[in-house]
Structure 1
C-alpha cells in the first residue's frame, strides 16, 4: 500500500466515489483539463469525461447555483472554490438554498452537495487566498462543516461527505496538503461524520483543535511531555454538528482546556466550544479555558503570516498558563 499526501487522498476519494456512483459529478474553475489549482482533481476528467468533470466559468455564484440545482434533482455534485476566500459569492446559494432545502420542502427534497475549498494560510499566498473563515458557516442550520487534518481522515471524511444527503462544507487545510504522507487503503471505507477524534490520550490538559493546527498541538504535546505535562489532543474534524460529548469527557478528566484555531479570535468557533464548556463542565475546570487563535485582523501577507498562525510555542505557553492557574 503506497503512502499518499492529503491532496492525493482527496483525489483518491473523489475517484472512488465517481467510479462507484454515476450520480457524482465534479465542477469548478479549472478542475477538468488542469486538474484544479492544487491538482486535487488531476486525472479525473480523462477517466470520467467532460460531462462528469465540468470546467466552469470564473463565476462562483453560478457554480453554487448549478450545484444546488443538480443536488435537488438527484445528482451528487461536488463543487470546488479554488480558495476559501473565493467562497463568499457562493454563500448566497449555500445559506439561502442548499442549507434550507430539507426544511423548506419538509423533507421532500434534500441537497446532497459538497462544497470543497482549500482553506487557511501558511503558503505565502496573496489576499483572499489564505483565509480561515469556517465560523461563518458553523452558525448556519442545515450545514455540516468538515475540516480533515490527515490523509486518512481526508479520504474517509470526504467519502462520508459525498454520501451525506445534506450539504457539506469541506475545507481542506492547504498548508498540509503535501506536508507528510501516510498509508491510506483505497477501499471506499468512509469515516463517521459528527465525531471528534482523540489523537493522543492525556490527563493534565485537553488541546482541542482542527485542520492544520493539529500538527502544532501534537508538537506542543510532545514538548509538554518532556516537562511532565500530559496533554490530550482532540481533532474536532466535524465542527457542526459538534461532538461535544467527547470534548466534555476529556475536560472532565483533565480539568483544563486550550482551544486552538487559525480563524480570528472574536466569534471564532473556539468561542462556541468555550461557552459549552462553561455551561456543561464548569465544575470540572481547574483553570480558565485558554484560546490560541489567529488575531482579529485580515490575514497578512507572507512576511507577517507566521505571526498570525498559532504556533507550537503559543500553544505551550497557553498550557503553562492553565497549569499555573490551578
Structure 2
C-alpha cells in the first residue's frame, strides 16, 4: 500500500518543502559553493521543543566546545609528533561557530568528502539538500558524481551502498588504511520509518559481510544516515524510533547524537569506523539545538556513553531527544512548581525516600544523567559503574518498550548473561560479570523503563501522549526513589 499511494504524498510534501526554500538554494547554486551556506548564522532555535535552546547541556561558548570530553582532533598525531599535544596547545587557535544540528551534520559530510576522494553521498533528494537541508550545496561543491539522488527504494539505496563499500571505485582506495578494498559510502534513508525495506540488506548482508567472507571482504566504509524519533505531528510513518530492532544485529553499530557538536564528531567517527554504522539523527533536534561547534576536523568516540550530570541517588540512562526531557524532569524534581499536584507528589515521594535512606528532611536526591550516544554496542560498564554508586536505575527512550533498548539494558543488569553489546572498555568479560552481579545485588529498587507505548506506530492525534514527556519521566523518578 505504501508504494502505491504514500510516495506521491511524500513527493508532494517534499516539493512543497523545496518551494518554501528555493531562495536559499538559488543562492547556494549561484555561488557554487557550500562554504557560504554553511557559514550562515543558524536560525533561532525553535521547533517543537524550544526550551532546548537554554539547556545547560549544550556548549554555548568556544571554551566549552573545545574542552568537550573525548574529542579527538584529526591532526592530533601531528601535534604529538611536534610535542605540542597538551590541551592548551591543541585547542589554541582553533575556531568554533554557532551551528544547529543539520548544519553540523552538513559540515561533517563536507569534511568527509574533502578528506576522502572515495567518499560519496547519496539518497532520495540529497542532491538539492534533502528534506532537512543536511546536504545543502554539497552537490554543487563536490560534483553530482559524488553527491546524487537515488530512486525511491530504500532497499536499493542500502544495497548500492553495500556494493560500493565492498568494491568501491578506483578513487582513493589506497587511503583507506586497511579498512577494506571498498569506497566510503554515505547513504541517506530519508526517514527512519522507511528503513524497514532495507532491513534485509542491513541485517543479512552488511552486518554479516566480513564474517561470512572470513575477513577477506568487508563493508566498513558504509554509513547509513536517517532522521528518527518524533516531532509532535509525524504520525505513523514519520515519528518512529526503530533503534531497538537493531539490538540483535551483531556486526552493525547504531549511533544517536544529542547535539550539533556530538552529531559532527560522532558522524565523522561513524564514517571512518571499520564497521557499517546506522547513524540516526533526532529530527526535532535539527533546529532546536544550537551550540558552538569546532570548525576543524574532529571525532567523538563510538561505544562510549557520557555522564552529563553527576549524582549519587539515581542513575537515568537515555539518548537523543529524551536527554532534554530528562533534564527538564530533573529540574522539576529539584525545583517543583509551587501550589500544584507536581509539588505535592514530589514532597510525598521524597519523604518516603528520606525515610528509606535515613537522610535529613532538607536533603534532595542527586541524579546521574547518562547519554548513551552509541546504542549498539552500548556502554554497559559505565552504566554498571554508575549503578554501583546510586543503586537505582531509570531508562528512558521514545521507542517501543517491549523489545526496546531499555529492556535490553535492564535484562543485561539483572541476568547473568555476558552480553556482547558493550562499548569500548578495558574491562574483560569476567570484570563485567562481577560488576553486573554487584550492581544487581546492590539494587534498592526495581529497574524501571519508560518508553513508547506498545501500539502500532505513533498515532497522529495522540503523539504527545506516546512520547515520554518530563512529567511522565518525573513520575518514574519518584517511583524509583520512593520504592
Category of TM-score, reference length = shorter chain: over 0.9
Q: Give SS of 2:275's match.
A: coil
* Residue number in structure 2 paired with 1:98: 206
Q: Distance in 2 between matches of 1:260 and 1:126?
A: 21
Offset, 1:284: 1.7
Asked if 1 retains the 8 angstrom alpha-carbon contact of 2:235 and 2:463, the reply is: no
Asked if 1 retains the 8 angstrom alpha-carbon contact of 2:258 and 2:373, the reply is: yes
Q: Give SS of 2:126's match.
A: coil
Q: Distance in 1 between matches of 2:457 and 2:205?
A: 29
- RMSD between aligned alpha carbons? 1.1
In the TM superposition, 1:1-326 aligns within 5 A as 1-32=96-127, 34-73=128-167, 74-111=182-219, 112-226=221-335, 228-279=364-415, 280=436, 281-325=439-483
Q: Distance in 2 between matches of 1:180 and 1:141?
A: 31
Offset, 1:152: 1.0
Offset, 1:88: 0.7
Q: Distance in 1 between matches of 2:457 and 2:463?
A: 7
Asked if 2 retains the 8 angstrom alpha-carbon contact of 1:206 and 1:233, the reply is: yes
Larger radius of gyration, structure 1 or 2? 2
Deviation digits for residues 122-174 of structure 1, max 9, x if unmatched? 24124311111111112111000101111111010000000011100100000
Asked if 2 retains the 8 angstrom alpha-carbon contact of 1:144 and 1:169, the reply is: yes
Asked if 1 retains the 8 angstrom alpha-carbon contact of 2:104 and 2:260, the reply is: yes
Asked if 1 retains the 8 angstrom alpha-carbon contact of 2:326 and 2:473, the reply is: yes
Deviation digits for residues 173-194 of structure 1, max 9, x if unmatched? 0011110200010211100000
Asked if 1 retains the 8 angstrom alpha-carbon contact of 2:388 and 2:442, the reply is: yes
Deviation digits for residues 184-205 of structure 1, max 9, x if unmatched? 1021110000000111101110
Q: Distance in 2 between matches of 1:66 and 1:128?
A: 24
TM-score (norm 1): 0.97
Asked if 1 retains the 8 angstrom alpha-carbon contact of 2:232 and 2:464, the reply is: no
My pick for the range that moved more, 117-126 or 237-246, is 117-126
Asked if 1 retains the 8 angstrom alpha-carbon contact of 2:110 and 2:138, the reply is: yes
Q: Distance in 2 between matches of 1:62 and 1:120?
A: 23
Q: Give SS of 1:124's match.
A: coil
Asked if 2 retains the 8 angstrom alpha-carbon contact of 1:299 and 1:308, the reply is: no
Q: Distance in 2 between matches of 1:261 and 1:300?
A: 14
Asked if 1 retains the 8 angstrom alpha-carbon contact of 2:240 and 2:458, the reply is: no
Deviation digits for residues 269-301 of structure 1, max 9, x if unmatched? 111101122131211211111111100013334
Q: Distance in 1 between matches of 2:391 and 2:377?
A: 24
Q: Distance in 2 between matches of 1:95 and 1:168?
A: 12
Asked if 2 retains the 8 angstrom alpha-carbon contact of 1:115 and 1:170, the reply is: yes
Q: Give SS of 1:66's match.
A: helix
Q: Distance in 2 between matches of 1:96 and 1:246?
A: 30
TM-score (norm 2): 0.66
* Higher share in strand: 1
* Higher share in helix: 2
Asked if 2 retains the 8 angstrom alpha-carbon contact of 1:299 and 1:305, the reply is: no
Q: Give SS of 1:258's match.
A: strand
